[in-house]
Amino acid sequence: MKKLPYEPPTQSVAGQIFDALLMLILVFITLYLPLWLKLAGGGTTTTEYPNPSWQALRQNSVMAAQWEKLGFSAEKAASIVGTRFDYSFNWIALAFTALIIVGYFVFMFVYSDHEYRDVIAERFGDDQSPRVR
């Protein structure tokens, strides 16, 4: 008996649209949730300049000229120049993130191996695909 070529199950257009929307929602949640829970973005630090001048802001004459072309005076530019992002680093958060990512990939590797073996067993029979679990 000749076996027919394997034909994977087809998915409807509605199912594909649902999957795409679900992925968009999951990506949005994944990117927004750490910000909402205050787990990302260390914030900013601000340096106050009581008498702002281009020299106090450490801006040379070329930089000052560019600021002025944009319509900023030293007083207006002081809040922008004085605001810096806080790049503090949390080793525990990094380790936790790495653990989650590695755990996810291990899970996907094991799960994919089981799915792969099931497809091979379905297509070629159990004698071609010994199960190792």
What backbone phi and psi angles, to 5 degrees, belong to 80? -75, -45
Q: What is the largest CA-CA distance in the chain?
A: 91
pLDDT for the residue numbered 124: 80
pLDDT for the residue numbered 59: 94
Percent of the chain with pLDDT over 90: 51
CB atoms within 10 A of CB 25: 10
Query: For 4-13, how does the pLDDT look when each residue is reduced to its tens digit (9 = 90+)?
Result: 777 778 999 9
Domain boundaries, the chain: 13-42, 43-88, 89-133
pLDDT for the residue numbered 127: 58
Q: Which secondary structure element, helix H or strand E, spans residue 40, and what is its range?
A: none
Q: Which secondary structure element, helix H or strand E, spans residue 85, and what is its range?
A: strand 83-85
Assess whether pLDDT exceeds 80 at residue 126.
no
- Token pair 């497809």 in the structure block, residue: 119
Report which of 104, 103, 132 is spatially closest to residue 118, judged by C-alpha positions: 132
Least confident range from 76-80, 94-98, 124-128: namely: 124-128
Distance CA 28, CA 33 (A): 8
**Alpha helices, H only, 1-133:** 13-36, 61-69, 74-81, 91-124
More confident residue, 86 or 52: 52
Q: What is the pTM of this model?
A: 0.44
Long-range contacts of 37-40 (CB under 8 A, 24+ apart): 39/93
Least confident range from 41-45, 70-74, 108-112: namely: 41-45
Distance CA 61, CA 82 (A): 18
